[in-house]
Amino acid sequence: MSLSKSKCTRCEESCGKGKASVDVIRKLEAAFDKLASSNSTSLLKRYLTRTIFDDLKTRKTSFGSTLLDCIQSGLENFDSSIGVYAADPECYSLFAELFDPIIEAYHGFKKSDRQPPTAWGPVDTFANLDPKDEYIVSTRIRCCRTVKGYPFNPCMAADHYREIERQIVSVLNELSGEYRGIYHPLTGMPKDVQQNLIDSHYLFKEGDRFLQSANACRHWPTGRGIFFNDKKTFLVWVCEEDHLRIMCMQPGGNVGEVYRRLVGAVTELEKKLTFIRSDRFGYVTFCPTNLGTTIRASVHIKLPKLASNMDKLKNLAEKYHLQVRGTAGEHTESEGGVYDLSNKRRLGLTEHEVMKEMYTGISEILKHEKSAK
């Protein structure tokens, strides 16, 4: 039996659009007062006015998700940058009064804007940004997908995770050629193997407190795992933050090769899986920061001259719509002078435009590094 519309165990209430329980509303009221009096700088605090809060606090989606499911991470982590997640795909419309201003603030994407149709463009547009391997350690391009008919983490029962994992893995196991690989469930994975995959930047980390507060880590590690080919140049995360994270990566700066491989992988997967795509937002994800193309195209790069002045590097990156992060990605510091530089914009642009922006930005950053004194 499909579980996609089953009971939402979190609130122990039958699904079906209706009203949030008295208990949920009471929890929301107490947490709202604490947030309002906090020094949080999250987009949640900035845009969850009392009026909007009162309008939204009683609502419930057909999956059973409430406002609490969407904002509990930001209520518990005042240092959140965003503070909200969509507990299921309906949340973006049912709680639009909160999501829309947050999406506009983060992406510059207004209520009247629409994500353009998917357009990967010519994959041979991009060459190797660092043919002599002097600066770029590795290139990674990832996109996120969610499977139609299922809620997102906060409202997923253990059987949801098992069913989605089963669906995705059966498709992955049919892949051939350079995409042929093996699925490694987290359940039963030896801790040293798991840690080695994380340290090698292949596998997602555990214990992100923002995701834990969002109830995105319940039933862990049920239904979670990683698929990869023998060269680890094509990988798929199953049921981490989104139902799927599809990524291609390899040493060096050959952006074109990585992009070609990713486009081929996604094209193969969407022949067998129905992904959630909205006319307004494009591909729908758990976190609003990933909506649209859902692409993060990044290089691990060494910039000894520019990195000697981080404020200057970040301002330069901002000029090219690039984000500077630590070596292990989000919420991490640089190790050994290696920085993660990636596109900041992914909503309101086509896939090819996102890639061109990243490619051009990294190319310009390298010119600055080479000419710096």
Site for ligand DAR, rule CB under 6 A: 80-83, 210, 241, 287, 289, 330
325 is catalytic: yes
Q: How far apart are CA 68 and CA 288, in angstroms?
A: 16
Round to the nearest angstrom and report the end-to-end CA distance of the chain. 65
E-assigned strands of the chain?
A: 18-19, 59-60, 136-145, 181-185, 225-229, 234-238, 244-251, 277-278, 282-283, 296-302, 322-325, 338-343
345 is catalytic: no
Q: Binding of ligand ADP at residue 249 (CB under 6 A)?
A: yes
Residue 47 or 210: which CB sits closer to ligand DAR?
210
Are the C-beta atoms of residues 123 and 256 closer than 8 Å to each other? Answer: yes
Shortest distance in whole angstroms from residue 290 CB to ligand DAR: 6
Residues in the chain: 373
3-state secondary structure of 171: helix
Q: Binding of ligand ADP at residue 243 (CB under 6 A)?
A: no
Shortest distance in whole angstroms from residue 135 CB to ligand ADP: 12
Sign of CA dihedral 172, 62, 240, 291: positive
Residue 287 or 303: which CB sits closer to ligand DAR?
287
Residue type, 315: N
49 is catalytic: no
Tokens (6 digits) for 103: 């999406």
Shortest distance in whole angstroms from residue 142 CB to ligand ADP: 5
Residue 95 or 281: which CB sits closer to ligand ADP?
281
Q: Which of 107, 140, 280, 344 binds ligand ADP (CB under 6 A)?
A: 140
Residue 201 or 356: which CB sits closer to ligand ADP?
201
**Tokens 């407190």 belong to residue:** 209
Tokens (6 digits) for 289: 């920061």
Contacts of 102 (CB under 8 A, 6+ apart): 43, 44, 47, 82, 84, 288
Instruction: Reply yes or no: is the peptide bond before residue 221 cis, omega within 30 of 0.
Output: yes
Select from 94-102, 154-162, 296-304, 313-321 the region that touches ligand ADP (CB under 6 A).
296-304
298 interface partner picked from ligand DAR, ligand ADP, none, CB below 5 to 8 A per type: ligand ADP
98 interface partner picked from ligand DAR, ligand ADP, none, CB below 5 to 8 A per type: none
So which residues are the catalytic ones? 142, 241, 245, 287, 289, 296, 325, 330
- Which spans of this chain sit near ligand ADP (rule: CB under 6 A)? 138-140, 142, 201, 245, 249, 296, 298-300, 327-330, 340
